Amino acid sequence: MKNTGRTTGKGRRLRKIGAAYCLAALTAALGWLYSSLPDHVSLEPGQALTLPRFAYIQPMGAAGARNVASTRTAGSYQTTLSIGGIFPVKTVRATITPRPQVKVCGTPFGVKMFSEGALVVGFTDSSGPDGAPVNPAKEAGLRLGDRVICIGETVTESNDAVKAALEGAAGRPVRVVYVREGSQQQTVLTPCWDAAAGEWRAGMWVRDSSAGVGTLTFIDEENGVFAGLGHSISDGDTGQSIALRSGEIVPCEIVGCTKGSAGSPGELKGKFLGSHAVGSIELNGENGVYGAARATFDGQVMEVAFAQEVVEGPAQILTTTRGQTARIYDVEIEKVTDAEQVRNMVIHVTDPTLLAETGGIVQGMSGSPILQNGRLAGAVTHVLVNDPTRGYAIFAETMLAQAERVETEE
């Protein structure tokens, strides 16, 4: 009897451990589901609230009784998403709005941007009075990526302004105001005399502008706003997003391409067609470049897919690999997530023609529209360096919301 009692106690302990593991697994699964579900969904009037990527999820209630009745008029309401209409998981906000339409482009455009302040992109030593190397900028604590906005009383919005401020200091200690990681700071810098160059130096290289090529995603013709790139424009030396002072877009033509390979992303080569601006840049944001359109752009008017409608499966990319005319190529959407801000999709280029031309996704294709089921689903943002046939994309709905905010701020 004593032996049987010990076995029974052990069994109870095993059952408790098993129950604890099951509870932990269930909690983890519900946590994953909660974070994977969107916080917000958009619907057309009368459109049923369904999540194609989560077929087992529906609004609370008997067979989703509120599913259509609550979405017939414009506005917003909260609804609780559940498993099978019974087990609640997450409360989200549903916005009822007419289906948006935009002019989808996929054409190249040139970007000219001027930064707010002079960006520190490098350092170089000078010879001091005794011949020893000196670097006033480093001694003052400046680092790569710092944005110098004022030296003494001079606002340094250009390289020339930096040079003039150093000349004006003439070797005297001068206050430097700069921005690092979004925080404004200040230090004191003492310029040194460079006898070989015959001028006062700070020992730093700065950049006040940037230019490049990207792909135009869409034009919101109703509001006169363009959207492109799907990510911010960053400085090539520091990787820092450029703080926009002013900028414009100009017509561009793709004249060649360096094919991508594993570990070495390729690049579209373009040339600006004149200096006449066709748009002004109002925002260099983490999810794209936006601004006011000043000209008519080629493209096709299409409906925008709501984020929850984008699913894994066949899709197309609209991009330009030669000249100014966009073409459609086949891709596969391999993964979709609502948890990321800009990397909502992983796409795989499957079209043999595009693979032969570019090797997959290359620099300059950022902003290329992703189409699915006849709607604009998203835009390319990044290439996977170790596999250029794959890349990331952002939801078109996210970019359109940003474009609308830009128009409101204007």
User: What is the C-alpha separation between 171 and 177, in angstroms, rounded?
Assistant: 18
DSSP E strands, 190-229: 192-194, 199-201, 204-220, 225-228
d(CA 284, CA 233): 7
Separation CA 410–CA 407 (nearest Å): 5
The Cα-based distances of 49 to 43, 74, 374 in angstroms read 7, 14, 20
By the 8 A CB rule, do 79 and 49 touch? Answer: yes
Token couple for 258: 């360096």
Q: Where are the beta strands (DSSP E) in 304-354?
A: 313-319, 327-336, 345-349
* Active-site residue, 261 included: no
Query: 371 with 351: CB under 8 angstroms?
Result: no
Identified catalytic residue from 231, 338, 348, 382: 231
DSSP symbol at 305: P
Give me the amino acid identity at 194. Answer: D
What residues have CB less than 8 Å from 118, skipping those under 6 apart?
Answer: 147, 148, 149, 156, 157, 158, 159, 161, 162, 206, 207, 208
* Spatial distance between the Cα atoms of 318 and 106, rounded to a whole number of angstroms: 5
Between CA 406 and CA 205 the distance in angstroms is: 33
Burial 99-123 (b: 16+ CB within 10 A, else e): ebbbbbbbbbbbbbbbbebbbbbeb
Phi, psi for residue 321 in degrees, rounded to 5: -110, -5
Is 276 known to be catalytic?
Answer: no
Are the C-beta atoms of residues 188 and 276 closer than 8 Å to each other?
A: no
Number of H helices, E strands in the chain: 5, 27
Question: Active site includes 40?
Answer: no
* 82 vs 91: CA distance, rounded Å: 9
Active-site pick, 125, 237, 330, 351: 351
Options 42, 115, 210, 366, the catalytic residue: 366
Do 69 and 94 form a contact (C-beta atoms < 8 A)? no
Catalytic residue ranges: 231, 351, 366
